[in-house]
Amino acid sequence: MILGIGTDLANIERIEATLARFGDRFRNRVFTEVEQRKAERRRDVAGTYAKRWAAKEACSKALGTGLRMGISWRDMAVTNLRSGQPQMTLTGWAAERLTAMTPPGHSAVIHVTLTDDHPWAQAFVVIEAVPTPNIP
């Protein structure tokens, strides 16, 4: 069953200007060390950050809270599988919220997809509850 859906559209040029203006203060407030390493290795640094920004916004919407109620930007992190597929990892209050919204007997699965077409970056997040198998 679907527990939550979120989407966000971010302007890459706006993120680029924010990076230029606030630098590490912005990076460290919003992005985990892993996200920063990934972005700084890419040719399109601002686009990489913008996609992750959009994913965090989309995830907060899928959690049903938006960026309020104690959720931290860094409680939501985008990493990539070896195949390149993005995945969302939650910690802190975001993880607590996910646990609270997941029905008994189910496990939560977060699906995330990212795309960009300059000057836009977009993310969709779907949170799904799947039944936990009964193992005797």
CA distance 21 to 70: 26
Cβ-based burial of 42 (10 A; exposed 0-12, middle 13-18, buried ≥19): exposed
- Per-residue model confidence as pLDDT tens for the chain (136 residues): 999 999 999 999 999 999 999 999 999 999 999 999 999 999 999 999 999 999 999 999 999 987 766 678 999 999 999 999 999 999 999 999 999 999 999 999 999 999 999 999 999 999 999 999 876 6
The domain made up of 2-131 has a fold known as Ribosomal Protein L22; Chain A (3.90.470)
Give me the residue spans of the domains in the chain.
2-131
Tell me if the pTM is above 0.85: yes
Residue with tokens 């949170």: 127
